[in-house]
Amino acid sequence: MMIDDQTMTTLNELIATSREGEYGFMNCADYIGSPHVREILMQRALDCHLAAEELQDHMVRLGGHSAANDSAMGSIRRGWLGQGGGLPDYSDEAMLEACERSENEAITRYQRALQQDLPGATLDLINAQYRGVRRNHDEIKRLREQVAAES
């Protein structure tokens, strides 16, 4: 089966979204004071990494290729650094707010993907990953609220 342009574009966008999440969680973990929260962020980064790999493998099975490359990662890093530069500080709360904003954007991207006319197996994969993005968002929101209450 040959992959169509819409499916390949959608999968590449979600691969980029997952890579952004991976880098964002790692970036925030660097500034988090709590070892417990740092460990959670590093696990979320790994989850995003594995999600990107799963999407890439799926695309290859469909006969497509990933547009993700080092220059894309450079753009992701610059985007996260730009977000970080707008933060008033590098407090745990500020870092978790940045992660939550990023997960809100990931939710939006996955919701858009789920509205596409894509092959069934692709939609199943995207839906499973969407549930993971929602779990990430909810966990980060809970952690942010907890840190805010402790401040």
In this prediction the pTM is 0.86
DSSP per-residue codes, 46-64: HHHHHHHHHHHHHHHHTT-
Mind listing the pLDDT tens digit for each residue in 5-18?
A: 999 999 999 999 99
Q: Check pLDDT > 70 for residue 84.
A: no
| pLDDT score at 81 | 42
- Give residue-wise pLDDT tens across range 31-80: 999 999 999 999 999 999 999 999 999 999 999 887 765 445 444 443 54
Nearest to 93 by CA among 151, 24, 144: 144
Reported as a single tens digit per residue, the pLDDT across 108-146 is 999 999 999 999 999 999 999 999 999 999 999 999 999
pLDDT of residue 69: 54
Three-state secondary structure call for residue 89 = coil
The residues, ordered by sequence, that sit 6+ positions from 70 with a Cβ below 8 Å of its Cβ are none
CB atoms within 10 A of CB 66: 18
Instruction: Please give the pLDDT value at position 88.
Output: 52
How far, in Å, CA of 99 to CA of 102, rounded? 5
Confidence of residue 82 (pLDDT cuts 50, 70, 90): very low
The predicted pLDDT at position 151 comes to: 80
The SS3 call for residue 116 is coil
